[in-house]
Chains A and B, each alone.
Chain A
């Protein structure tokens, strides 16, 4: 398995694209976010960084803020 460096979603730069790798948190919380379209394997683009941040997802925009128990890890880079 390849080592990939994962970083929290909110650390992306404006305009940077990244692929969501993992949603960390309680299964029910994760499930809710997946229903909204925030799920592993999807590509997001940072619109407004910070906490909360705004990301572009598919044709829409979501604003998102995690907490201690919940975060979205993304993989930034060429293949994303």
Chain B
């Protein structure tokens, strides 16, 4: 996989040693896993240690993110592996199993680990040490990083970490990951482990009896926190496996098998889990229950007891708990009334800001796009290749990239809100609403992620234990307005919603419209979830527990990294899927190119007009070196550049507004009509007489100029008609006309219908497709102008009536807000539910909902 952010590592210990790391070879790198509870700053620590040289991917078969970073600490290469944050290593799903398998070295696609760094929150040692006690049982060397010691100190907590180190038996290092304090010490502690492991393994060769001993001399840490009776049962299970000659599970997994009453491990196909073993496991559970050690309760009891011993004398709390800034903030932000107000204000502000902050950058990209278009026109001869480059590639991919600033700005906001701790408060506030429709606040987090993209959103539903809730959340997640809808909204809002400001400029109509589009998805999701929970997927509202992380200033690195990471995935989509769909749509709109057969009269008319223009231009040149009126560049918004005349091709849109065309009707005399004034539709401008073929003598240069002007206009009209006819008779055009009766009630013409149809694989393609269709329809080799302008001047075919107006724009936006136009999302739902039933259901319900809603919007809109 390509490294998207190459650059030197910021950690002092590894100054650009990637080359030597590679030279030393992968197999020599010491593999270190990073594990800890959620919200302990694990990702921050990982980024701080690994720098920007990280690789992210997925563990195959599951949706667990795999993050690796290579660094040099001491003189040794290390591979850091960031495991997902977890409260416990008690696997109850394939996702939770990943961390356990990685830690136990049971994955075929991963080299075994050499050590583990556990990260804990200094203010929450008791709770955070739970997972540490599980890690210590795995038998790997451990270093404990105690993070956010500054926050703990602010709360008045006094920590005796030297004592903790003694009682725990592993190195303990205080750090402040977000300020990069203590990282050198942590790196030293990590770097010291390989030598200790080497020493321990050589001593192990000497004394065979210490085979069970932990490498690194932390034998004390291996002591199980469980009561002896429990340990005895685990040992008995191990003996049973050994005696039966079946593969012996690692002790930790045997323990888990005994503790797991959910049935997950029993049915997960672990080797060596035989019916005999399971029967014995059940018997062991009943024996333990009789001794007052019920499974699974015994685990929490034993571990917290162990933790209490480890923390003996380590933490000194202040007599009077200090009220922190976070507490004061929470009084407002989680307040029923004030908190909700802040939440709504925050969301409105977010979308307002996304809109105006990104605008200058978008204009810049748009300008760059036009510039490239001009270069292509200059460099590539007219024909299929130029059309492909400009209308397929540039308009397609470029049209989507123009919206990158918006997407990056939105990702930036989401990352900031996540990192400062506000998102969890928002989820808390939303739990009231969610529980009313039978879901929990837990469902809100996947839905929130779906605002960026439904794919991670659907994957994030794995945190929901209740299968029905999980399914409902998954089915409504694609209704959230993901980043792919943003280009569609931005384009249409920018082009058709008036830029009105209210309340002294604080609220703009455009921003409010954007907000409404996001809101309609949320409202529909709530309604659909409610209906589903009442009908197909009935079930009790589940209990809801979620940790609220402490507030903190968002870390610049983390926020930027997350923004770039998500933005980058969007660029990749633009480069692959959107590119492919753009090219396919372009080809469908360009071919079969049999216009000579379909509408020969248009071809003839266009050829004649071009001939006439050329002739008049030549004559104008004869009449004088400098004609009094320079050839006007016919450049209205609709159809810039009467392309065929080579004299104009290099020119930009000079003086398009001031062109003499604006000055009333031309005084073109109605000479004999050379054109086969076709049997196609009556076109307002097309019916204009042309003076092109007229052999009438000119009385002066001014007449010649007006003749030339009229000829140019005729050429332009002929070009338009020809281009329109070609599009209409293209494969896409034929399909579009076929579906037009269906989309007409929505206020769409067949071209919008085509664009919507082409957007079913990936909805952001709409922008590209509109670009392709309307540019092809306008004039195939014109310089690329802004799509906004093109759309504003688009008309219904065969009339001058503008195609787009506010109801049409709203109807398109509502359709895109609600329709299931994302093949990847449907594929993810299929994978997550393991059946085609639910993606099919999602597709049908969303598409029907979209059609009905946009029908209502348009039909009501035009009557207002």
List the interface of chain A (C-beta within 8 A of B).
25, 27-39, 47-48, 50-52, 54, 57-70
Contact = CB atoms under 8 A, between A and B. Distances in A.
Interface of B: 39, 87-88, 90, 92, 121-127, 130, 152, 155, 157, 261-262, 294, 296-297, 299-300, 304, 327, 330, 334-336, 424, 428, 431-432, 435, 440-441, 465, 540-550
A62 B548 contact: yes
5 contacts: A34-B297, A37-B127, A59-B123, A65-B431, A69-B543
Given A35-B87, A48-B330, A60 B547 contact: yes
B782 to A, nearest CB: 57
Given A50-B336, A54-B330, 12 more contacts: A27-B296, A32-B465, A35-B300, A48-B335, A58-B125, A59-B121, A61-B330, A63-B431, A63-B548, A64-B545, A65-B431, A65-B545
B240 to A, nearest CB: 25
Contacts of B261: 27-28
B543 A66 contact: yes
Nearest to B335: A48
Q: Is chain B's interface secondary structure helix, strand, loop, or mixed overall?
A: mixed
Nearest to B148: A59
A61 B121 contact: no
Query: Chain B CB within 10 Å — which of A35, A36, A62 has the most?
Result: A35
A59 B157 contact: yes
Contact of A58 (B127, B335, B336, B441): B127
B87 A58 contact: no
B306 to A, nearest CB: 14
B155 A52 contact: no
Contacts of A31: 90, 296-297, 299-300
Contacts of A50: 336
Given A31-B297, A35-B300, A70-B543, A63 B441 contact: yes
B540 A69 contact: yes
Nearest to A69: B540
A73 to B, nearest CB: 14
Given A27-B297, A54-B330, A62 B545 contact: yes
A61 B548 contact: yes
The 3 lowest CB-CB distance pairs between A and B, nearest first, are A59-B123, A34-B300, A37-B127
A50 B546 CA distance: 15
B547 A62 contact: yes
Nearest to A34: B300
Given A63-B548, A65-B544, A58 B330 contact: no
Nearest to B89: A35
Contacts, number: 114
A62 B152 CA distance: 18
A66 to B, nearest CB: 5
B124 A59 contact: yes
A48 B334 contact: yes
A49 to B, nearest CB: 10
Nearest to B339: A48
B547 A67 contact: no
A68 B294 CA distance: 24
Contact of A63 (B92, B297, B336, B544): B544
B289 to A, nearest CB: 11
A41 to B, nearest CB: 8
B127 A61 contact: no
A61 B296 contact: no
Nearest to A38: B545
Contacts of A61: 330, 547-548, 550
Nearest to B122: A59
Contacts of B428: 52, 54, 63
A31 B294 CA distance: 11
B548 A59 contact: no
Contacts of A68: 540
A29 B548 contact: no
Contacts of B549: 60
A13 B155 CA distance: 23
Contacts of A58: 123-127
Contact of B127 (A29, A36, A70): A36
Contacts of B431: 52, 63, 65
A51 B432 CA distance: 7
Given A54-B330, A59-B124, A59-B155, A35 B130 contact: yes
A67 B547 CA distance: 18
Contacts of B543: 25, 29, 64-67, 69-70
A39 B300 contact: yes
A69 to B, nearest CB: 7
A37 B432 contact: no
B787 to A, nearest CB: 45
A66 B431 CA distance: 12
B440 A65 contact: yes
A70 B330 CA distance: 26
Contacts of B130: 35, 37
A41 B541 CA distance: 27
Contact of A28 (B88, B294, B296, B435): B296
A6 B300 CA distance: 22
Contact of A54 (B299, B300, B334): B334
Query: Chain A CB within 10 Å — which of B300, B540, B550 has the most?
Result: B300
B340 to A, nearest CB: 12
A52 B152 CA distance: 27
Nearest to A64: B545
Given A27-B261, A57-B127, A64 B540 contact: no
Contacts of B90: 31, 35
A8 B543 CA distance: 14
Contact of A39 (B39, B296, B304): B304
Contacts of B335: 48
A57 B428 CA distance: 16
A69 B428 CA distance: 21
B87 A47 contact: no
Contacts of B39: 60
Contact of B548 (A39, A60, A65, A70): A60
A17 B304 CA distance: 21
A33 B39 CA distance: 17
A54 B294 CA distance: 30
A64 B544 contact: yes
Given A35-B88, A59-B123, A52 B297 contact: no
A21 to B, nearest CB: 15
Contacts of B541: 67
A27 B125 CA distance: 25
Contacts of A64: 543-545
B465 A62 contact: no
Given A59-B121, A63-B441, A54 B155 contact: no
A63 B550 contact: no
B439 to A, nearest CB: 11
B124 to A, nearest CB: 5
Contact of A52 (B92, B294, B296, B432): B432
Contacts of A60: 39, 121, 123-124, 127, 547-550
A52 to B, nearest CB: 5
A64 B427 CA distance: 12
Contacts of A34: 297, 300, 304
Contacts of A67: 540-543
Nearest to A41: B304
Contacts of A52: 428, 431-432, 435, 441, 544
A38 B547 CA distance: 11
Contacts of B547: 36, 60-62
